[in-house]
Structure 1
Amino acid sequence: MNENKYTVRKLFPILLLIICFACKTEKEKLLLEKIQGKEVHLKYAKGFNIKDYETYLILTINNPWPKAEKGYKFALLKDGYDANFWSTEKVRFDDIFEIPVEKTVVTSTTHIPALELLGVEHTLVGFPGTDYISSEKTRALINAESIRELGKNEGINTEVLLELQPEVVVGFGIDGNNKTFETIKKSGIPVMYNGDWVEKSPLAKAEWIKFFGALYNKTAEADSIFNSIEKEYNDAKLLASKVRKTPTILSGALHKDVWYLPSGTSPEAQLLKDANVNYLWQDVAGEGSLALSFEAVFTKGKSADIWLSPSYYNSLEALKNANEHYTEFDAFKNKTVYSFVNVTGATGGVTYYEEGTARPDLVLKDIIKVCHSELLPEYETHFFKPLK
């Protein structure tokens, strides 16, 4: 009996350690599995969500591309996380990494404004197609060779990328079949698909700044920046809602024998609706762009007051040379054709393709200025200019 007591007394510290470790593990498991965490508030975006658990964030990408059948889940570890615990949790996530990120690669110019708005553009170490970047701040980093050229998006130079060793690569995909991204993931570098382009409204697209806010542990800053953009957008929308005259709007142009223009359920149509104009196809629902014949567009749009975004044509002469029939539209005759293609950066990148997604408030104000110039007498358009 005494021998048994001695054995128990001798083993007690070990048993206590085991019990404490088990309790700690159970406590952390409970934290991960049972506690809801604090949801980072999203007002419009549907493609991702973020939960804050104090020492880590869980970022889930629900809709990385249209009709995606799977999502992606990442654990983003803040200061104070338990390294031993997280070393056992990798099977639960597509990847786990520490934040704030100090070195990153992004793959779309639409990602650049978010980095700049958060003040973290200096963390960008590589980009595929640097000539497409228009921002003066980021171009200065490119010129200083702080950002490396990574080739083309369809075939990123993985040798250079792996040499740079970014902590995360922010990509985008149309179906998830990207061999380059798979190679990068196999090397141990996380790849996160940014699905801002899949969202259904301009403000939903802009809200993806909160995705980048999570990567840099700046969720509060990202929320504040988005709230400011949203306010500017809604103030402009309210201003436009008061006008009584709503000009008729034509959009798009022919590509080969098909005229592509926004469907009535697209984010572009939402901008036109919020600008309080009469977009001639606003009642035609559809996924993506509408594909119509020239005759169908001409019948409906010949007398339109304003022609917005006539594809990539940068002058009235270019439109005429492409198709003589374009000259028969009233908007062409009256020189009320407006496009964003002539506003470019130093190396030719179109500013709208970079900044338009992040700043729908500026896009909306541009359309209001074009269509209701009296509402914003002092405002200079940021993207849209009349074709000459």
Structure 2
Amino acid sequence: MKIYDRMLKINKLVPFCHSFRGGRFSFFAFTWICAVLVIAVTGCRDESSAQGNLQSKAPVTACSESVQFEPVVSDYFSIGKLCGVDVAVVRSVVGKDTLVHKYVMMDSAAASLGMDLQHRGFPEEWHSAVVLRVPLNRVAALSTSQVGYMLRLGLRDKIVGVSDGQYIVDSVLYERAQNKSVASIGYDASALEKLMALNLDLVLDFTTGGDYDNYEQIARTNLPLMLTSEWQENTPLAKLEWIKLYGILFGLRAQADTIFKQEKQKYETLKALIASADSLSSLVSRHSSEHCPRVLAGMSYGGVWHASGGNSFTANLVRDAGGCYMWASDTSRELTFSFEEVYALADSVDVWVNPSMFATTDEILALEPRVKNIKAFKEKKVFQNDGRKGLGAGNDFYEGAITRPAELLWNLTKCIKGSVPGVNSIDTSYKWYRNIYNF
């Protein structure tokens, strides 16, 4: 009975046990002792379980400390593999600062091992990364470019929130925003509340450094947030390449890679044909300007002309389309001039593109009457990028065109150069650019 005494550890109960020695156990005594044994064994199991849990939370063997990044043409995102899962680094330039955010994308199998990056053995510099469980199912896309990528991948039904439904070009999504089955988030004080109510897997946002930025407020919530910066890319192919990141996020990487590969091939083939035609023209012409029209971009506000820089998306698209951008040698993204500086070049401007948001010549003249003396204006060669619009105020140049760069290039080439020999595989139904004189 000494073993019972030690187990009970209550001195006053020892005499009580003595009466059950010698094999004369009553049913009550037997039941009482069994209960004590169960409690003791259960306690041991709980302790063992707790030790097991501690062991399961112990760090696993650290993985490689370097990410195997893929080669990309983009300047603002990188994708690769780390510790056996997909990772991404996304950069956004705000003034003189560059915001850098890291993301780890885990599917169900990877997430089953735990989503704590430190205990999974990730390098320390990745411990603060945003962990996303993919494929995503419910997303708020707060820029029309983000909507464009998702539509090209057939992900319309994954979009449950947009910034402002009236700027959506896709007719189905536009109607959903109008009947409020897709939320219009807006920028007022209720924006965060609307986002929180959507049970989101991810908020896709962007930052310009302007007054409407709200990413910092979103970041202070528990909502997963990704800032995309495709709009800052300098070339059509770099902008298109963001579709690869969307492919990873939604479990459609193979489809996204195929789209990029096919569009890239079409774009580079068309670009080569345009360059070849220009070379042929230069051989038969004494003046190179005859095969390379001089292209002006932008518009004047308050006497200040705002234009894209020589290393911008617009400048590179114009170059690939066979035009000579007026400020091609400048390496800036954005330029400003006095109207007088631009007016001095008026006689040498063959084509004018992207005259801000104006839809008609009357609207342009109402703001700045002196543009009537620009050669391109007098010769009716002013092209606006609003040829494809939605039911509301949306412009497809910022939604659908980003995923069809070859069609966009061909559209602008026809405006600048006319037809190019040998081009027969480009869908000509896409017309984002239109002559502003053709109402």
TM-score (norm 2): 0.75
Deviation at 1:343, TM superposition (A): 3.1
Counting only pairs closer than 5 Å after superposition, residues 342-381 of structure 1 correspond to structure 2 as: 342-375=387-420, 379-380=428-429
> Which of the pair has more CA radius of gyration?
2
- Structure 1 distance, partners of 2:298, 2:367, is 14
- 1:62 counterpart = 2:91: yes
- Structure 2 distance, partners of 1:156, 1:336, is 45
Determine helix, strand or coil for the equivalent of 2:432: coil
In structure 1, what residue type is equivalent to 2:272?
L
Equivalent residue, structure 2, for 1:192 = 226
- Structure 2 distance, partners of 1:95, 1:268, is 33
Deviation at 1:353, TM superposition (A): 2.2
- Structure 1 distance, partners of 2:402, 2:102, is 24
Deviations 1:285-305 (A, max 9, x none): 32x321011121121232322
- Structure 1 distance, partners of 2:91, 2:368, is 43
Determine helix, strand or coil for the equivalent of 2:97: coil
Residues 365, 381 of structure 1: 8 Å contact kept: no
Equivalent residue, structure 2, for 1:8 = none
Q: What CA RMSD, in Å, does the superposition of the two structures yield over aligned residues?
A: 3.1
Residues 363, 382 of structure 1: 8 Å contact kept: yes
Equivalent residue, structure 2, for 1:260 = 306
Which sits farther off after the overlay, 111-120 or 212-221?
212-221
- Structure 1 distance, partners of 2:301, 2:212, is 27
Residues 111, 133 of structure 2: 8 Å contact kept: no
- 1:117 counterpart = 2:152: yes
Deviations 1:198-218 (A, max 9, x none): 223221121111121121122
Equivalent residue, structure 2, for 1:299 = 344
- 1:310 counterpart = 2:339: no
- 1:240 counterpart = 2:274: yes
Counting only pairs closer than 5 Å after superposition, residues 96-175 of structure 1 correspond to structure 2 as: 96-143=131-178, 145-152=180-187, 157-175=191-209
| Structure 1 residues not aligned, in runs of 5+ | 1-13
**Aligned mate of 2:238, from 197, 204, 219:** 204
- Structure 1 distance, partners of 2:337, 2:216, is 38
Determine helix, strand or coil for the equivalent of 1:357: helix
Residues 65, 173 of structure 1: 8 Å contact kept: yes
- Structure 1 distance, partners of 2:213, 2:407, is 36
In structure 2, what residue type is equivalent to 1:218?
L
In structure 2, what residue type is equivalent to 1:169?
V
- Structure 2 distance, partners of 1:97, 1:274, is 38
Determine helix, strand or coil for the equivalent of 1:159: helix
Deviation at 1:219, TM superposition (A): 2.0
- Structure 1 distance, partners of 2:167, 2:269, is 31
Deviation at 1:362, TM superposition (A): 2.5
Equivalent residue, structure 1, for 2:374 = 329
TM-score (norm 1): 0.85
Deviation at 1:193, TM superposition (A): 0.7
Residues 103, 129 of structure 2: 8 Å contact kept: yes
Equivalent residue, structure 2, for 1:220 = 254
Residues 91, 98 of structure 2: 8 Å contact kept: no
Structure 1 residues 88 and 271 mapped into 2: Cα distance closer, same or farther (>3 Å)? closer
- Structure 1 distance, partners of 2:175, 2:292, is 42
- Structure 2 distance, partners of 1:137, 1:96, is 31
Structure 1 residues 164 and 235 mapped into 2: Cα distance closer, same or farther (>3 Å)? same
Deviation at 1:329, TM superposition (A): 1.5
Deviations 1:303-350 (A, max 9, x none): 322111112221222222322211111211211111123531111212
Deviations 1:72-109 (A, max 9, x none): 11221112125453236398133212100010001100
